[in-house]
């Protein structure tokens, strides 16, 4: 998270100083978007790693509320400052937000230990909850259970496993 924040800060500062009509400007904006977009998902993943299962729903609801509040007020606040100080405030505002996230991340890294590997659960791939996914991979539940039990090789050797083509 600190790395993505640092990339976002650098890209925001570069966006202020680079000529807006150049290809480099657009490449910097693409890099900024690539670094900024996954931040919400990473924040939720970090929060869920440190919570008990019964706390996850409440915390996720709170994170959605905070993100919604930011999405609602951020454009208004930035537009106000852009009117007062010019268009460059947009990128300085992004850099400021990511600087806060960066320093918060550094403080959290220094103040608490990470989740021990033994306490982490393994990823269990499950079906995507759509009718098309169920049609294409009807054995996905069997596969997810086999992954959890470390029996994937036995499942792959079964002859009754089906794959449907659309």
Please give the chain's pLDDT, 166 residues, in tens: 888 999 999 999 999 999 989 999 999 999 999 999 988 888 888 888 778 878 888 888 898 899 999 999 989 999 999 999 998 899 999 999 999 999 988 888 778 777 677 776 666 555 555 666 666 666 667 777 777 777 767 666 665 555 555 4
Output the pTM of the full model: 0.65
Question: Using CA atoms in the order 103, 66, 125, 141, what is the torsion angle rounded to 10 degrees?
Answer: 160
Question: SS3 of 59, please?
Answer: helix
Q: Where are the domains of the chain?
A: 2-116, 122-166
């Amino acid at each position: 998270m600190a790395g993505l924040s640092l990339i976002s800060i650098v890209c925001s500062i570069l966006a202020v100083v680079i000529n807006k009509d150049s290809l480099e400007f657009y490449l910097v904006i693409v890099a900024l978007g690539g670094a900024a977009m996954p931040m919400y998902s990473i924040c939720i993943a970090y929060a869920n790693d440190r919570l008990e299962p019964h706390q996850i729903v409440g915390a996720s609801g709170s994170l959605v509320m905070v993100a919604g509040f930011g999405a609602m007020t951020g454009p208004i606040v930035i537009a106000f400052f852009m009117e007062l100080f010019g268009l460059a405030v947009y990128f300085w505002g992004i850099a400021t937000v990511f600087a806060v996230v960066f320093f918060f991340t550094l403080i959290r890294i220094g103040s608490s230990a990470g989740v021990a590997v033994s306490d982490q659960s393994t990823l269990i791939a499950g079906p995507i909850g759509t009718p098309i996914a169920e049609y294409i991979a009807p054995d996905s539940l069997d596969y997810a259970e086999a992954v959890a039990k470390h029996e994937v090789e036995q499942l792959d050797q079964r002859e009754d496993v089906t794959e449907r083509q659309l």
